[in-house]
Amino acid sequence: MKKAIIIGSGLGGLAVAIRLQSRGISTTIYEKNAMAGGHAYQFKEKGYTFDMGPSLITEIPIIERLFKQAGKPLKKYLKTTGLDPFYRVYFHDKSFIDYNGSEASMKEQIRKFNENDALNYDKFMKYASKLYKAVITDGLGSKPFISARDFLGFAPRAIALRAILPAYNVAAGYFKDFRTRFLFSFHTLFIGGNPFRAPSLFLMLPYLEKTTGVHFSYGGMYSLVEAMVKVFKELGGKLVLNTPVEEILVRNKVAYGVKVKGEVEEADIVVSNAHFAHTYKDLIPEQKRSRFKNKAIMKKDYGMSCFLIYLGVKKQYTQLKHHTLILSERYKELITDIFDRKILADDFSMYLHAPTRTDPSMAPKGCDSLYVLIPTPNLAGNVNWNEETPIFTKKVLDFLQYKFGLEDLQQNIEVQRTYSPADFARERNNYLGAAWSLEPKLTQIANFRPHNRSEEFKNLYLVGVSTHPGGGVPGVLLSAETTEKLIIKDHKL
């Protein structure tokens, strides 16, 4: 029986572990933290439940495929429900839109901003549907991008689809109003991309949401992690928590195991779900690497991070839907501050999660377990998060209470925790605290992203956000499919 070791239990790590274990490979996951899930972590305090990272599920068929391979019906393990609206988006001028998948509702709302934009909604979705077909239906999202042939097969189609132009520019070709331009370009931020630089290929995301919906799983996003852990264990897999992998063991360019707690654990297959930079820079001694030397790793472009505030509040605010975005007046300039100038600007845009709108069990009766997410520069900027955390938190809470109008917010807070870019680096080994690892831009996607099969070491594979196809829950689950395909091929399974 072949043996596999997975480093890390993020959603990509769990998915590939299930896939390998279900093929009869004896699989062990080593996770440095006390619970599985990676960014999809959760904590509970005083009756409030907080998902710490992902809060919405899209493209459920990818999850169904995973459970099907394990011989387990998803419905038995996870209870989900569709949301309407998907989000409420407040613009700086206090206008708002309830964004959803209904053509009629979207056109009616967009029409209030610009008549012509409403007419162009169908054209935009038709375009986005072609991108979706390429990535999801035709499988580019889970196709290994390893050789020049893979790339040459993809490039003409990408060019024909205008999929390599900046996402914002393409959206702006369909829409004129600043609000509508935002609505159909901001999705790249969900996968850590800069809308003004990420390729328009990612404009498939609005179509993906429209066709398969935006969902929430009862008990929080963490219930997906619990379901995956359950399935993995039922199949006979082993999950070892509180156990960081200290080194990936390589000999003559072949990975043969890992070092944990000073002990050697041998395996036929090693899969790292840790971010690319940590995998190579921290886990394989530099003298054993020729492809990814530290300098080359550090030269790559790492995307944004974020600052999170988790709030248990003895009140519910009707202005907030399950998912709410509150935007600053600045879009491009603020994005440039975050991605390029790497400064903490005076203004901010934010996303708020209020899961009790769908699942009242997430907080005590009449209360809210809110989280506030603010995109920030990664640690390549010079923000000292030890000093900045209390100042920034107060600034955000004052904004929400006095400018946005969440009355008496600060007087009603029972639980308050924060999570900064420095925490992403310390607790999850994200290089530069970049929450989505490598920025998904033209020179860092497909073949140009670290490959799912190590370019240098036999039997070493990568899965998760820093590899193809990239971040987001659907992305990392697709990356598990890609990695599995390569393992099957290499090990003749």
Question: Which residues of the chain form contacts with ligand FAD (CB under 6 A)?
Answer: 7-13, 30-33, 38-40, 53-56, 190, 244-245, 273-274, 278, 306, 308, 373, 428-429, 435-436, 464-465, 471-473, 476
Q: How far is the CB of 46 from ligand FAD (least distance, A)?
A: 22
Q: How far is the CB of 328 from ligand FAD (least distance, A)?
A: 19
For ligand FAD, which is the closer residue by CB, 177 or 246? 246
Q: How far is the CB of 452 from ligand FAD (least distance, A)?
A: 12
Q: Which of 298, 285, 301, 208 is nearest to 247 (CA)?
A: 285
For ligand FAD, which is the closer residue by CB, 110 or 350? 350
Q: How far is the CB of 358 from ligand FAD (least distance, A)?
A: 14
What is d(CA 12, CA 274) in angstroms, rounded to the nearest whole number? 10
For ligand FAD, which is the closer residue by CB, 174 or 433? 433
DSSP 361: G
What is d(CA 225, CA 247) in angstroms, rounded to the nearest whole number? 26
Q: How far is the CB of 113 from ligand FAD (least distance, A)?
A: 26
Structural contact between residues 249 and 284, judged by C-beta atoms closer than 8 angstroms: no
Please give the single-letter amino acid code of residue 114.
N
Please give the single-letter amino acid code of residue 109.
Q
Q: Cite the beta strand spans of 277-367 per DSSP E.
A: 305-313, 323-326, 350-353
How far, in Å, are 207, 277, 364 from residue 80 at the CA level? Answer: 20, 34, 21
Tell me which residue has its CB nearest to ligand FAD. 10
What is d(CA 390, CA 420) in angstroms, rounded to the nearest whole number? 11
Structural contact between residues 310 and 370, judged by C-beta atoms closer than 8 angstroms: yes
Q: What is the CA radius of gyration of the chain?
A: 22
For ligand FAD, which is the closer residue by CB, 369 or 412? 369
Q: How far is the CB of 170 from ligand FAD (least distance, A)?
A: 22
For ligand FAD, which is the closer residue by CB, 32 or 300? 32
Sign of CA dihedral 144, 145, 151, 154: positive
For ligand FAD, which is the closer residue by CB, 170 or 306? 306
Q: How far is the CB of 212 from ligand FAD (least distance, A)?
A: 12
Residues found in the chain: 493
Query: Which residues are registered as beta bridge partners of 29?
Result: 6, 239
For ligand FAD, which is the closer residue by CB, 51 or 337? 51
